Structure 1
C-alpha cells in the first residue's frame, strides 16, 4: 500500500493518505466545472485513512444527485482539497491536483459526461457515465470527516 501526500497552494493545509483509492475519475458535473472552470480529476479514499494538518474551511450544498456535499478548501489560498457526500458516508473525494505526485493516480472513468461542455476533451479510452457512476465498494470502516490538527 502506498501513502499519498499533498497539500494546498500556500502550504497551510497538508495531508497524508494511508490507503489506496476506491475509484479515480474525471468529473464533469456542473459543480466541479464551477470549482475548476473545467472538469476535475478526483480519487475516492476511505475517510479514516486521511490525516490532515491544518484546518480547512467548508461549504455545504446540495448536489445535482440530491446528496448534501461538503467541499473543504484552504481558507488562505482557496485550493479545493476534499469533498464529502451524504451519499458516500465513510468516503472522501480528494482532488488529484493537490497531491504532491498527481501522476501517481490515473483516472479510469469519467462521470457526468452529459454535463460536459461541447469543447471538453473526453477521453474515449475511459469508461464514461452520463451521470454518476455506480458506487464503488464501501470502505471497511465508515467514519466522519477527519478532524483537523492545528
Structure 2
C-alpha cells in the first residue's frame, strides 16, 4: 500500500511508498499546539526514503523541548502543514494526517507530550500515553 497527500491549494503533494507508518501519534507539545491552532497535531511517522514530495516547501526550525532541532515544513502558498523532522532521527519524516488524502485509514495509537496539554484537552484513554518524548521508533529495516 502507498499513501498520498496534498496541501489545500494543490501546490505541494506527496507519495509515500510504505505499507504502513512506523507509528501514528497525537502530539500535545506546545509547539504542535501552535501549529495546530490550539489542539494536538496528528502525525504518521514514515521512513524518509519512502516519502517523495513535489512542490516547494517553506520551513521553520526551532529547538524542541527534547533539545533536538525540529523542522516544520508547510506549503508557502496556502500554509497547510505537511511534515516535521527532527535532527535526532533524520531517517524518519513525520507526516501530518490532515495533509494525507482522505481514506488513509490511520489513527493515533499514542498521545505524546501530554504534560503540556491544556486542562480541557480530550485525550483518548485507550491511547498509549507519554508525559513527554516517547522512546524512538525502531529504525526502518535495511
TM bracket, shorter-chain basis: over 0.9
Counterpart in the other structure of 2:23:
23
RMSD: 1.1
Give the Cα–Cα distance (whole angstroms) in 2 for the partners of residues 128 and 58 of structure 1: 28
Partners of 2:13 and 2:43 lie apart in 1 by 17
**Aligned equivalents of 1:82, 1:132: Cα separation in 2:** 18
The answer for the alignment partner of 1:106 in structure 2 is 107
Residue aligned with 1:97, SS: coil
Deviations 1:85-123 (A, max 9, x none): 011121010000111126511111100001000000010
TM normalised by structure 2 equals 0.95
Question: How much does 1:83 deviate?
Answer: 0.6
**Is 1:15–1:52's contact at 8 Å kept on the other side of the alignment?**
yes
SS at match of 2:126: coil
Q: After TM superposition, which residue ranges in structure 1, 4 or more long, deviate above 2 angstroms?
A: none
8 Å CA contact 2:3, 2:104 repeated in 1: no
Query: Equivalents in 1 of 2:61, 2:4: separation in Å?
Result: 25
Distance in 1, matches of 2:102 and 2:79, equals 20
Which deviates the most, 93-102 or 71-80? 93-102
Higher helix share: 1
In the superposition, relative to structure 1, how do residues 80 and 130 fare at CA in structure 2: closer, same or farther (>3 Å)? same
Listed as ranges, the matches of 1:68-147 within 5 Å are 68-101=69-102, 103-140=104-141
Could you tell me the TM-score, scaled by structure 1's length? 0.90
